[in-house]
């Protein structure tokens, strides 16, 4: 029997790099595609010694060619943090639309299972709490976050169209807030921002009054959920996230405590369309995948803080690092 083979778009990003690692552990050959607009070759450098792993610089908004058989296409490519998709609005829309269609086309050509990494942002600023997969959401399509929210919603619609009209074996995961090692220190999301500020002894900048809630999931749990969905026959969408909810202010105080920092809290203007509440209903994932998070949030945060302490850039208060250059550069896989 030949070795199973997976293509991971956005594979050099935060989630993608962890997914590539786990797929290799499960015996897959892995082709990692990334355009490095937000991903980093450093995230997968430790995988390059494995002959089953290949890193390819590729933009999924261009035509994707992968030679040989493919058993799974996992589409994680997309700017994912507000600071990224606000700076790259057109690229975000293109990756969610053209990039998704190209990735689905690859899955169709290879008769492969396709998994879309969608997002809890599909629910927008929800009016239903917690959010079940049946909820259609409350999204502002012309607001600043609309480029990301609507790109993912289009991607979900395209995925279902390929399933229903082309017979592609597809799955949709709606990913809730995830954290862990390899997050970019200045990607604009709350946890890396708070950790970096706490380690530098700077005030933690909490948006609004901090009463808005998030449900944060450690990356190992999230990847386990994605793999269980991949290896199931579920079409989804399926919520993958931690249903333990806390306010952003409580999260900031917890990070101050875990870092041993003397940082204070300061309040800044809350961004437009920032969700007021966010908590997944994971009844479907529990019942159909036997999945739920197992890593305690405090434990996951401590692991993440320990990783950040070893990153010299975290301790630099001003300069923002330039995107890294890929270690392997090719237009073909």
Positions marked catalytic: 148
CA dist., res. 100 & res. 155, Å (int): 6
Q: How far apart are CA 85 and CA 93, in angstroms?
A: 9
The strand pairing partners of 204, in sequence order, are 265
Distance CA 68, CA 110 (A): 9
The dihedral through the CA atoms of 325, 328, 331, 333 has a sign that is negative
Residues 145, 89 contacting (CB under 8 angstroms)? no
């Amino acid at each position: 029997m030949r070795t199973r083979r997976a293509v991971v778009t956005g594979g050099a990003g935060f989630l993608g790099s962890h997914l590539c690692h786990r797929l290799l552990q499960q015996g897959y050959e892995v082709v990692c595609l990334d355009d490095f607009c937000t991903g980093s070759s450093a995230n997968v450098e430790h995988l390059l010694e494995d002959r089953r792993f290949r890193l390819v610089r590729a933009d999924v908004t261009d035509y994707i060619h992968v030679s040989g058989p493919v058993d799974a296409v996992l589409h994680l490519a997309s700017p994912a943090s507000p600071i990224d998709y606000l700076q790259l609005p057109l690229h975000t829309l293109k990756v969610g639309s053209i990039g998704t269609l190209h990735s689905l086309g690859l899955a169709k050509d290879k008769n492969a299972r396709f998994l879309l990494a969608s997002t809890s942002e599909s629910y927008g600023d929800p009016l239903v709490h917690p959010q079940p997969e049946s909820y259609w959401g409350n999204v502002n399509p012309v607001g600043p976050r609309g480029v990301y929210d609507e790109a993912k919603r289009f991607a979900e619609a395209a995925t279902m169209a390929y399933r229903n009209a082309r017979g592609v074996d597809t799955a949709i995961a709606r990913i809730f807030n995830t954290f862990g090692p390899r997050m970019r220190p200045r990607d604009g999301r709350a946890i890396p921002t708070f950790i970096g500020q706490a380690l530098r002894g700077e005030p933690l900048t909490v948006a609004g009054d901090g009463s808005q809630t998030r449900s944060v999931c450690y990356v190992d749990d999230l990847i386990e959920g994605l793999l269980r969905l991949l290896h199931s026959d579920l079409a989804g969408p399926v919520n993958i996230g931690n249903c333990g909810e806390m306010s952003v202010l409580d999260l900031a105080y917890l990070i101050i405590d875990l870092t041993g920092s003397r940082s204070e809290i300061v309040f800044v203007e809350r961004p437009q369309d920032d969700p007021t509440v966010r908590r997944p209903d994971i009844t479907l994932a529990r019942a159909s995948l036997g999945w739920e998070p197992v890593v305690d949030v405090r434990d996951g945060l401590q692991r993440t803080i320990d990783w950040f302490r070893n990153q010299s850039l975290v301790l630099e208060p001003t300069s923002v690092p330039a995107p890294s250059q890929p270690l392997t550069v090719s237009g073909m896989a």
